[in-house]
Amino acid sequence: MNTLAVTTEHQASIVLVEDDASLAEWIVNYLRGHNYRVHHIARGDQVAAYVQQHAPDLVILDVMLPYKSGFDVCRELRMFYPQPILMLTACGEEADEILGLELGANDYLSKPVRPRVLLARLKALLRREPQEPSTQGILRFGQLKILRDAKTVFYRDEVVAITAHEFDVLWLLASNAGKVIRREELVTQLRGIEYDGFDRSIDIRISRLRKKLHDNPEQPVRIKTVWAKGYLFSPEAWE
């Protein structure tokens, strides 16, 4: 059984995402003693569906989780969830803390968790006014979703693993969906140099994007090659 639920009259409802059973039990009992309602989830891949259905007031999210990392969960939640996210990070892992904040977490807490500090952080976060998720910097085409700030691509609700350079190409093409973008323009905007007629770096990135986005490289329909002109991102081909 991966979840345990505690229901009481509460100040706020909290989802705790933590795969360490003993730590999770301790946090649940501690927060229950302070009149919170807590639901525990031990797997990263189960979080988004539960949060979408139950709309808790706050999520406590561990970084290291089975099936889906806390970073991926945070990124996924921030597509629809405006309430606070508190990330739990390994002690001294500054890179984890920075990445969590960049992905949309409101605060972080290093392990081992100190009870009074945890409670103070929760109270501070719950006093904040929730922010509506921003639609700026998000492009949607059928089942394709592109998040500019997080440099993240979702297709059919799955994260597509692409590099930063590949993302930049995709964002530029998708921002001009239905319009042919010349290779010269892509090279100038993305590499900051003039096209010399020999540079094939953009072609290589587009070839890799097609493979990762399940576009037929022999007859692409999603990122099309327009002979002697450039490339065209098709907005209707993402079902």
Q: Are 217 and 207 in contact (CB under 8 A)?
A: yes
Residue 173 and residue 170: Cα distance in Å, rounded?
Answer: 5
Separation of alpha carbons 140 and 90, rounded Å: 35
Alpha carbon distance 87, 121 (integer Å): 11
Answer for the pair 74, 87: CB distance below 8 angstroms, yes or no. Answer: yes
By DSSP bridging, strand 107-110 and strand 85-89 are parallel
pLDDT for res 133: 47
Average pLDDT for consecutive 10-residue bins of the chain (239 residues)? 40 91 95 94 94 90 93 86 86 64 80 90 78 63 86 86 86 90 80 58 86 91 89 90
pLDDT at 168: 87
Q: What is the architecture, at CATH level 2, of domain 138-233? A: Orthogonal Bundle (1.10)
Determine the pLDDT at residue 3: 42
pLDDT of residue 7: 38
Q: Between the CA of residue 222 and those of 170, 216, 218, 225, what are the distances in Å?
A: 11, 9, 12, 10
Q: What separation in angstroms does the CA of 10 have from each of 7, 37, 39, 173, 209?
A: 8, 6, 12, 48, 48
Q: Which fold has domain 3-127?
A: Rossmann fold (3.40.50)
227: amino acid identity, one letter: W
Q: Cα torsion for 78, 57, 18, 92, to the nearest 10°?
A: 70
Q: What are phi and psi of 201, to 5 degrees?
A: -60, -40
- The domain limits of the chain are 3-127, 138-233
- Closest to 189 (Cα-Cα) out of 160, 225, 230: 230
pTM of the model: 0.53
Identify the CA nearest to 40 among candidates 63, 62, 16, 60. Answer: 16
Per-residue model confidence (pLDDT) at position 1: 38
